Amino acid sequence: MRLWVPEGTKAKYLEGLPEEVEVGYFPKEGPFPDEIETVEFLVPPFGQRDRVQEALARMPRLRVVQTLSAGVDWILPLVPPGVTLADARGVHDTPVAEWVVGAILAMYKRFPEFRDFQRRSRWEPLKLADLEGQVVLILGYGSIGEAVEARLKPFGVRVLRVARRPRPGVHPPEMLAALLPEADVVVLLLPLTRETEGMVDARFLARMKPGALLVNAARGRVVRTPALLEALEAGRIRAVLDVTDPEPLPEDHPLWRAPGVYITPHVAGSSPRFLARAYALVREQVCRYLEGRPLRNVVREGY
């Protein structure tokens, strides 16, 4: 069985693969080698959509595409019929959850403002807020949401959970309008789908509690940027964004200078342990495939 991984993948991450696996490398540029036609299992490189699309059209034996990203919106339309797509659910839980908690604390303790004061050599005390007793709504409650809640629990917050698949303790999307006015913090962890694109619009933002904090660690296009700008400029809400629409955010975009917003450049999932966790999943998935067992994280209905 031929497995292709992105060019540059270190050998240490591929240790422990079954002997019958032949590893090849998805080239960053140039012509594809003839062996592309024998690839059964592909780990595609992120950020090379056009090249991945070209490669997929030349892989008649392809059976599995395993992404290293939790979101699959970038590749889902490209996967041929009959090919199983699996995402990296679980791989990004720790770094994204830590980023979310850090983002919330930074805003509650006003670290961005103090950093600005420091750059101007200003000693200016500000009133700070307690996280204890606050209500945090997690929209898109999956494995990352669970990790966020586990890290928020010691701070004494109350968590409201919303997900597409309701279950005990997790509300359906239909409850969102009623829950938004209760939340002091709204955390977005949604995948980008036809249903979620633009979900956070003017009506959504108007239902949020005045002064509430919006934290987006999902996808930029989940939020309507003009509506967000209007809410920020009116001082109705605050926001921390790891993702934006457009992305990267152009230098002259008004979102950079909007009041009450803190922006990081899509780094929430960044971690020195990312590749080790990701390729542990790849090894498990390859073994499952060869043994005929069900794969983990199979994408259905868009995610």
Buried residues in 145-183 as b, exposed as e (16+ CB within 10 A): bebbbebbeebebebbbbbbeeeeebbebeebeebbeeb
Fill in the DSSP letter of residue 142: S
Are both 2-91+271-291 and 93-263 of the same fold? yes
Q: What is the pLDDT of residue 41?
A: 98
Instruction: Give me the tens of pLDDT residue by residue for the chain, a chain 303 residues long.
Output: 999 999 999 999 999 999 999 999 999 999 999 999 999 999 999 889 999 999 999 999 999 999 999 889 999 999 999 999 999 999 999 999 999 999 999 999 999 999 999 999 999 999 999 999 999 999 999 999 999 999 999 999 999 999 998 999 999 999 999 999 999 999 999 999 999 999 999 999 999 999 999 999 999 999 999 999 999 999 999 999 999 999 999 999 999 999 999 999 999 999 999 999 999 999 999 999 999 999 999 998 766
Cβ(162)–Cβ(174) below 8 Å? no
Strands 39-42 and 64-66: parallel
Q: What is the pLDDT of residue 232?
A: 98
Place of tokens 């977005």: 188
Edge-to-edge strand order for the sheet containing 185-188?
A: 158-162, 135-139, 185-188, 213-216, 238-241, 261-263
**In angstroms, how far is the first alpha carbon of the chain from the final one?**
26
Phi, psi (deg, nearest 5) at residue 22: -100, 120
Distance CA 55, CA 48 (A): 11
Domain ranges for the chain? 2-91+271-291, 93-263
Q: What is the pLDDT of residue 47?
A: 83
Q: What is the pLDDT of residue 303?
A: 66
Instruction: Give the residue numbers marked as catalytic.
Output: 219, 247, 266
Distance CA 129, CA 122 (A): 21
The helix (H) or strand (E) run that includes residue 106 is helix 93-108
The helix (H) or strand (E) run that includes residue 2 is strand 2-6
Q: Is 279 helix (H, G, I), strand (E, B) or coil?
A: helix
Please provide the CATH number assigned to the domain covering 93-263. 3.40.50.720
For domain 2-91+271-291, the CATH superfamily is NAD(P)-binding Rossmann-like Domain (3.40.50.720)
